[in-house]
Amino acid sequence: MALGILDRFLERGVRKGVLEVLRPNGSLRRFGTPHEGFPEVRIRLTPAAERRILRDPRLGAAEAFMDGQLVVEEGGIMELVELLRANARWDRGGELHETKPLKKVADKVLTLIDGINKATSAKANIAHHYDVGNDLYRLFLDAEHMQYSCAYWPRDDMSLEEAQTAKLAHIAAKLAIEPGQTVLDIGCGWGGMAIYLAKNFDVSVKGITLSEEQLVLARERAIEAGVAGRIDFELVDYRDLAARGDKFDRIVSVGMFEHVGQAQFARFFRDCATMLTDEGVMLMHTIGRMGVPGSTDAFTRKYIFPGGYIPALSETLAASEKVRLIASDVETLRLHYAKTLREWYKRCVANKEAIVALIDERFYRMWIFYLAGATAAFESGGMCNYQIQYTRSRHALPLTRDYIADSEKQLLAE
Whole-angstrom distance, CA of residue 349 vs CA of residue 356 = 11
The one-letter amino acid code at 287 reads I
Nearest residue to 208 via CA among 134, 159, 259: 259
The domain defined by 2-92 folds into: Nonspecific Lipid-transfer Protein; Chain A (3.30.1050)
Kindly indicate the confidence band of residue 109, based on its pLDDT and cuts at 50, 70 and 90. very low
pLDDT of 265 > 60? The answer is: yes
Helix, coil or strand: residue 185: strand
Whole-angstrom distance, CA of residue 141 vs CA of residue 242 = 31
pLDDT of residue 119: 55
pLDDT of residue 24: 87
pLDDT tens digits, residue range 171-199? Answer: 999 999 999 999 999 999 999 999 999 99
pLDDT of 117 > 70? The answer is: no
pLDDT of residue 306: 87
Kindly indicate the confidence band of residue 102, based on its pLDDT and cuts at 50, 70 and 90. very low
User: Do the Cβ atoms of 248 and 184 come closer than 8 Å?
Assistant: yes
What's the alpha-carbon Rg for the chain, to the nearest Å? 22
Helix, coil or strand: residue 174: helix
Class for domain 109-413, per CATH? alpha beta
User: Do the Cβ atoms of 177 and 183 come closer than 8 Å?
Assistant: yes
pLDDT of residue 248: 98
pLDDT of 1 > 50? The answer is: no
- In terms of residues, how long is the chain? 414
Whole-angstrom distance, CA of residue 312 vs CA of residue 291 = 6
Whole-angstrom distance, CA of residue 381 vs CA of residue 397 = 35
Q: Return the domain boundaries, the chain.
A: 2-92, 109-413
**Stretch 154-160: mean pLDDT:** 95
Question: Is there a shared CATH topology between the 2-92 domain and the 109-413 domain?
Answer: no
Kindly indicate the confidence band of residue 105, based on its pLDDT and cuts at 50, 70 and 90. very low
